[in-house]
């Protein structure tokens, strides 16, 4: 019983000594220095011109030039042509819009669809508009950087024929 008390007392005395040394760094002068956090570089707001949108009767427009990482991105597909267009889903967040982020000068797809269901074709009639909301969250935020939206469409009912790819103007995700 006495041995058990002695070990308990020694253990309790040792804990504060061990905790006192945690997280402290020693400088050459023998005093303890508070560590200074190393700044993590984040993508700065670009001053370069944003990529421009594809011009034509079928177009993509983004609701704003900048968003925060957890904001919903609004993309408007407008078909002002004289014929209906067809386009697939299973793109960003399983929608019909493919969002891309510029990484080291290349465009990379973001928030790809992971559903194991067949890809469907969607149709937008001539003279119509479609608004697509790309929803982010605190659990899955947009990464900071330069983005644009893309859409690949066909003027035929099947997707085996020729396709056209269009782009929105560039926009940023900023903190």
pLDDT in tens, 119-141: 999 999 999 999 999 999 888 99
Number of compact structural domains in the chain: 1
Q: Is the pTM of this model over 0.85?
A: no
Question: CA neighbours within 13 Å on the CB side: how many for 9?
Answer: 6
Residue 124 lies in a domain: yes
Residue 12 lies in a domain: no
Residue 128 lies in a domain: yes
Judged against a pLDDT cut of 90, whether residue 24 lies above it is answered with no
Residue 16 lies in a domain: no
Q: Residue 157: which pLDDT band, with cuts at 50, 70 and 90?
A: confident
Q: Which among 144, 100, 148, 96 has a CA at the least distance from the CA of 123?
A: 96
Structural domain that includes position 101: 58-173
Residue given tokens 């700065």 in the structure block = 44
CATH number for 142: 2.60.40.2300
Residue 126 lies in a domain: yes
Mean pLDDT over residues 103-108, rounded? 95
Q: Are 60 and 168 in contact (CB under 8 A)?
A: yes
Residue 142 lies in a domain: yes
Residue 144 lies in a domain: yes
């Amino acid at each position: 019983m006495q041995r058990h008390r002695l070990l308990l007392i020694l253990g309790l005395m040792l804990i504060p000594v061990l905790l006192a040394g945690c997280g402290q760094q020693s400088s050459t002068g023998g005093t303890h220095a508070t560590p200074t956090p190393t700044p993590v570089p984040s993508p700065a707001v670009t001053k370069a011109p944003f990529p421009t949108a594809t011009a034509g009767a079928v177009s993509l427009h983004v609701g704003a030039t900048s968003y925060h990482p957890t904001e919903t991105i609004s993309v408007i597909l407008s078909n002002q042509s004289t014929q209906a267009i067809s386009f697939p889903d299973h793109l960003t967040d399983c929608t019909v819009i493919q969002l891309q982020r510029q990484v080291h000068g290349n465009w990379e797809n973001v928030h790809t669809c992971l559903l194991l269901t067949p890809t469907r074709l969607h149709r937008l009639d001539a003279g119509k508009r479609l608004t697509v909301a790309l929803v982010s969250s605190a659990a899955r935020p947009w990464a900071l950087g330069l983005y644009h939206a893309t859409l690949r469409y066909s003027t035929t009912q099947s997707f085996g024929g020729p396709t056209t790819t269009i782009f929105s103007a560039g926009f940023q995700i900023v903190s």
